[in-house]
Amino acid sequence: MSTQTDTLYPPEGLGAPKDRQGHTGSELNLPQGTEIFSADNHISLADDIFYENFPERLKNKAPRIWYEDGAFEIGVAGKSFLPKEFSRVLMQYDPLTGSNSGNIEGRLEELRSDGIEKELAFPNALLAIFHYPDPEVRELCFRIYNEQIAKLQERSNGRFYGVGLINWWDPKGTRRTLAELKSLGIRTFLMPLNPGKDSEGNQIDYGSMAMDPVWEAVEESGIPVSHHIGETGLKTPCEQNAILVGMVNNVTGFHEVWGRYVFSGILDRHPGLQVGWFEGGASWVASVLQDGEHILASYRHMLDRPVERDVRSYWDNHMYASFMVDPLGMQMLEHIGVDKVMWAADYPHNESTFGYSEKSITMISDAVGPENAAKIVSGNVKRFLGL
């Protein structure tokens, strides 16, 4: 049986992004003036910004950035924080002209060659310092990164928007870093699926009452929260094609955190929060909503606290999801909501649509029509970012 994606993927595979070329020319069947806005791209750091900007007393702790064997690495004393498997993936796309922060103009041209006018960009290897053991160094790295992203935004003339980083482990730090983020014009920030430990060494539970001051600060800021796949590691070793096995396992991390927002009361206590789920596709949403409704009905008599609304309303009023190629998700839009999904190129990743973005977008317009497709490839991400 054939599927909608048969014509997207050649039998020999898509090849490394560094070997692909942008392509435009097909009629996308979108309303005139629609700006293609990728809701999830990625950018590598090319400059040694942490060492250059750390105070002298902390320079010996500053992570270094360098280019080696086709990948931008991050580490200390010449030793990368990245697993070899991850560096191997970086080598597939970091050689692209626009993969990194060192050439924003070349990046924008490379995206335009594939028909993409605007983007929201998440960090790449920088996630290796999400749980850097020294919280002072970690927050300083985040601040320096945010300043770098803000400079790229300014140079892009409204075409590049970067995802910032904040202190989520200490309420005072949360308010401090959110204020800085807002002053820089950064529109969203990335919170890890695995929050790690707080300043006193206790495991953080996003749904705990102890985290309420953090969520209060986020809610008051009006800045939407972003979560991204990539943190869900394999529980047991995998000898063959571990990259593929790990990738298909990635989206499972969303389910647990989604459950905390809905069932641990985060959204009940902080109804102003907006949350984006990135690169996990859209089809998972229908199944988690279905499962959530069944589980709530089955266990309502055992709750520690009431769940104040029906499960569906938490999604409809607070959440968005991004996808690259998701024909199954398009079939489920009646359950997910056409206003709640955002198309993404995922440039420059292996699983990106770079080189065939127009085919991916055409699939959307064929499935839902021009007006709804314009929401999915442009309008929804603008609304999420408050643009």
d(CA 120, CA 307): 33
pLDDT of residue 221: 98
What percent of the chain is predicted at pLDDT more than 90?
85
pLDDT of residue 16: 94
pLDDT of residue 5: 65
Residue 232 clears pLDDT 90, i.e. is over it: no
Q: Give the burial class of 143: count Cβ atoms within 10 A of its Cβ; 0-12 exposed, 13-18 middle, 19 or more buried.
A: buried
pLDDT of residue 327: 94
* Average pLDDT over every residue of 32-49: 97
Q: How far apart are the first and last CA of the chain?
A: 42
Fold of 25-385: TIM Barrel (3.20.20)
d(CA 123, CA 99): 11
pLDDT of residue 6: 61
pLDDT of residue 2: 46
pLDDT of residue 336: 97
Is residue 3 very low, low, confident or very high in pLDDT (cuts 50, 70, 90)?
Answer: low
Residue 71, token pair as written in the block? 């990948």
Is residue 220 very low, low, confident or very high in pLDDT (cuts 50, 70, 90)?
Answer: very high
Residue 206 clears pLDDT 50, i.e. is over it: yes
